[in-house]
Amino acid sequence: MRTLLGQMQSSGWLRWQSHAGRGKRGELYLLVTPESVRREMLEQALNAGQQEDALALAQLEPDDLRALLNPFLGGLWQNDTPTLRIPYYRPLEPLRAGFLPGRAEQHLAGQIFSGLTRFVSGNFQPQGDVAHHWDISPDGLCWRFHLRATLHWHNGDPVTAGQLQAQLQHLLTLSALQKFFASVNTIEVTHPWCLTFTLHQPDYWLAHRLASYGSRLAHPQHPTLGTGPFRLVTFSRELVRLESHDYYHLNHPLLKAVEYWITPQLFEQDLGTSCRHPVQIAIGKVDELRHLQPVSNSTSLGFCYLALRPGSRLNAAQLRRVVQIIHHSTLLQTLPLDENLITPSRELLPGWQMPDWPTQQVPLPEKLTLLYHLPVELHTMAEQLRLHLATLGCELTVIFHDGKNWEGCTQLASADMMMGDRLIGEAPQSTLEQWLRCDPLWPSLLGASAFGHLQATLDAVQRQPDEESRNRALQAVFYTLMDDAVLTPLFNYQYRISAPPGVEGVHLNTRGWFDFAEAWLPPPAR
Interacting residues of 252 by C-beta distance below 8 A, sequence separation 6+: 229, 244, 246, 517
Q: Beta strands 417-422 and 395-401: pairing type?
A: unpaired
Confidence (pLDDT) at 485: 96
Q: What is the pLDDT of residues 398-450, one digit of tens each?
A: 999 998 899 889 999 999 999 999 988 788 999 999 999 999 999 999 999 99
- Considering only residues 73 and 7, tell me which one the structure prediction assigns the higher pLDDT: 7
Q: What are phi and psi of 81, to 5 degrees?
A: -120, 120
Of 228, 249, 276, the closest CA to residue 110 belongs to 228
Q: Could you give the 3-state DSSP secondary structure of residue 200?
A: coil
Interacting residues of 81 by C-beta distance below 8 A, sequence separation 6+: 256, 257
- Considering only residues 506 and 370, tell me which one the structure prediction assigns the higher pLDDT: 370
Measured between alpha carbons, how far is 307 from 143 in angstroms, rounded to an integer?
Answer: 36
What mean pLDDT, rounded, does the chain reach?
86
Query: CB under 8 Å, gap of 24 or more: what pairs does 85-88 form?
Result: 85/258, 85/259, 85/261, 85/283, 86/258, 86/259, 86/260, 86/261, 86/281, 86/283, 87/261, 87/263, 87/266, 87/267, 87/275, 87/282, 87/286, 88/260, 88/261, 88/262, 88/263
Question: Which domains does the chain show, CATH number per domain?
Answer: 2-62 (no CATH), 114-215 (3.90.76.10), 300-494 (3.10.105.10)
- Whether the pLDDT of residue 288 is over 60: the answer is no
pTM value is 0.83
What's the mean pLDDT in 46-67?
59
Q: Is the dihedral of CA 381, 386, 391, 394 positive or negative?
A: positive
- Considering only residues 510 and 285, tell me which one the structure prediction assigns the higher pLDDT: 510
Of 150, 219, 157, 209, the closest CA to residue 178 belongs to 209
Confidence (pLDDT) at 33: 85
Q: Does residue 405 contact residue 376 with C-beta atoms inside 8 Å?
A: no
Q: What is the pLDDT of residues 321-366, one digit of tens each?
A: 999 999 988 888 888 776 677 889 999 999 999 999 998 789 999 9
- Whether the pLDDT of residue 13 is over 60: the answer is yes
Among 150-159, 435-444, 506-515, the minimum mean pLDDT is found in: 506-515
Q: What is the pLDDT of residues 252-267, one digit of tens each?
A: 998 999 988 876 554 4
Neighbours of 359 (CB within 10 A): 9
Element (H, E) at 157: none
Q: What is the pLDDT of residues 219-250, one digit of tens each?
A: 999 999 999 999 999 998 888 999 999 999 99
Q: Does residue 240 contact residue 127 with C-beta atoms inside 8 Å?
A: no
Among 71-80, 287-296, 511-520, the minimum mean pLDDT is found in: 287-296
